[in-house]
Structure 1
């Protein structure tokens, strides 16, 4: 499922620092719950990874060595060692290890460019990390954790219900 244009369009005008602040908060929370995530990258930890949601006017650049995530508005394209492009919900499903990345790549639902060895190392690190975004984001939401977790799980279920790829 792609994010509908009317929902994605406001991201073209919302100030990037505001978006980046929210993204960095979620990223930080995720790293607290999965502190060894980037250690599994080995020699690829110093690489820069770009995630380009095809349905959003944004690019997310992850630098595991620092660790930091940056948000860049398209059409700018930050230099990266490896990049993956596809609909946001598929990229998030990859983050959680919920889909067969090879099948998505060969079906052309995702495009991967750059250092394939680094991207494979990242995929392997993610596959072994047991990330569950609704659970992990809910854990950072304090007293509204149950609401955040249920809402995020419902969005994920709805977004991925029409996909034909193999889900775990």
Structure 2
């Protein structure tokens, strides 16, 4: 059989490559380079959406481990109104946290955006919740109460780079939707 480009790049091979693209692209990146972006996102969302903290109530100071299982790192979100924090940690570090939310990166993204229902993800076992489930429910309710998209607020934190970031994210989501 001839080794044609079609044989080497079958739809299933492309699908598998796209499924692992975020992890492959981010594996060699030092977290110190990503941390300013995460800090900016936390500060921007806190400044533009202060109602999020009111909705969290007593859970506003809790640490939420957000584990995109297909990325080489985890995030710890501490939604304090006075000093919000979003910090990246290598997967093996397993930082201290009060509650954990784990799922595939794009499922978590779609849940934040409101295009996927967190309950449906949880009951289909595509989302795993650990620790303080009351805090996770409060966070989910706060995100559900966002006017518009919470993801739009995150993208807005990129300032002048927000339009290209939104375009890149949109293209990734479309490619994933058509091939995964």
- Distance in 1, matches of 2:157 and 2:30, equals 27
> Does residue 133 in structure 1 map to residue 148 in structure 2?
no
Q: 1:20 aligns with which of 35, 41, 45?
A: 35
Counterpart in the other structure of 2:165: 148
Q: RMSD value over aligned CA atoms? A: 2.6
> Does residue 31 in structure 1 map to residue 46 in structure 2?
yes
Number of aligned positions between the proteins: 162
Counterpart in the other structure of 2:67: 52
SS in 2 for 1:108: coil
**Residue range with higher mean Cα deviation, 64-73 or 32-41:** 32-41
Counterpart in the other structure of 1:93: 110
**Residue range with higher mean Cα deviation, 148-157 or 47-56:** 148-157
Structure 1: stretches of 5+ with no match in the other structure: 164-168
- Distance in 1, matches of 2:76 and 2:62, equals 10
Are the structure 2 counterparts of residues 127 and 141 from structure 1 closer, same or farther at C-alpha, using a change threshold of 3 Å?
same
1:133–1:152 contact (8 Å) kept in structure 2: no
Counterpart in the other structure of 2:5: none
- Distance in 2, matches of 1:59 and 1:139, equals 20
Counterpart in the other structure of 2:78: 63
Q: In terms of Rg, which structure is larger?
A: 2
Counterpart in the other structure of 1:43: 58
TM-score if structure 2 supplies the norm length? 0.77
Judging by fraction of residues, say which structure has more helix.
2
Q: 1:77 aligns with which of 61, 77, 94?
A: 94
- The ranges of structure 1 where at least 4 consecutive aligned residues each deviate by more than 4 angstroms after the TM superposition are 160-163
**What is the CA-CA distance between 1:99 and the residue it aligns to?**
1.3
**What is the CA-CA distance between 1:75 and the residue it aligns to?**
1.0
SS in 2 for 1:72: strand
